Amino acid sequence: MSEHDEKAPGIHWSYRITQAIFTFAATICFVIFWCAGQMLGIPAEPGHGGSLVSQPTVGRAMAGLAAAAVLLVGCTLFSHAFLRRRWFMASLAAATAGFSAWSMRGGPSGDVFRYAPSVAVFVRLALELIFLGATVGAVWTFLWREQPGGKPLARGESIAAVLQHTAIMGILVFLLVQTDAKKQCVVSVFVAALISASIVRANWSRPEAGKWFWIAPILVGVIGYVLAAFQSGDWNSGMRELTGFAAPLARPLPLDYASVGMFGSLLGYWMNSPEEGTEESEDKQPGASPASLAS
């Protein structure tokens, strides 16, 4: 029996432990976000109003954004205590998976658009997504310092990776999101982020491109909102319905892009990263342990 065959059972068991710990951490984060949403009244009417900036008052909107940032950081720190020796970005993956609770508590984007007084709603949605995405991006960049070794990508390579990721994810969201139904938006954004991140990760031999995988969910959403604002003639007739070529990109709300979009990007990177393999390597490189949830 080869040395690899002797180590295989231990490696397989390590993957299973990683999956169990991650599932536990993500579940706890989901419960934390769900309970916090109930206590803070986010959204004000569960099943409707799924945008933080579209809450009844400015104070509640600001409180929702601040709470989202605090909980994202707090859940990441909590998960890091369990997952830091498994994969250095697993704690943020668990936090963004938990953040999806707020997305699921809200309603479809049609409710937000239907009661919007003007096309300025798209500007507010874009700003909300930028804030939430930047919060995730800041934590992402902070954790990335634990990435073992690796030569940083040149600026041109980083830009190319971001553009490729954004283009593929945008195309998939455009094809998959045909209505504003909440389940369809959530699942479609997740699948689009997962597949696009997987493809980009497979196309780059060095893992450093993953440092910028948080940008694509923001760009896809912001581009969708901007284009929708320029194609929103129905607001003048009172229909308050999304029309135009870019409508599928604007149907998911910022909470969808910032939660399941980020989670899908992290999971796509994780599933296509080289498997480090042994418990011994974990002791030598705590941040570079087995990186496969789907094994």
Residue 295 included in any domain = no
pLDDT, residue 1, reads 44
Taking Cα atoms as reference points, which of 96, 97, 115, 95 lies closest to residue 51?
Answer: 115
pLDDT, residue 223, reads 95
Residue 289 included in any domain = no
Mean pLDDT by 10 residues, the chain (295 residues): 48 72 93 92 76 81 92 94 84 95 87 77 93 96 78 76 95 93 93 95 78 94 91 59 82 95 94 52 40 45
Question: Residue 264's Cα: distance from chain center in Å?
Answer: 6
| Two structure tokens written together for 46 | 């569960």
Find the domain containing 138 and state its range: 3-284
Residue 205 included in any domain = yes
Residue 191 included in any domain = yes
CB 64 within 8 A of CB 41: no
DSSP secondary structure letter of residue 180: -
Which residue carries 């969201």 as its tokens? 173
Distances (CA, A) of 122 to 198, 252, 273, 285: 30, 12, 36, 45
Residue 79 included in any domain = yes
CB 229 within 8 A of CB 123: yes
Residue 165 included in any domain = yes
Residue 60 included in any domain = yes
Total count of domains within the chain: 1
Residue 204 included in any domain = yes
pLDDT, residue 148, reads 64
pLDDT, residue 51, reads 85
pLDDT, residue 73, reads 96
Record the pTM. 0.84
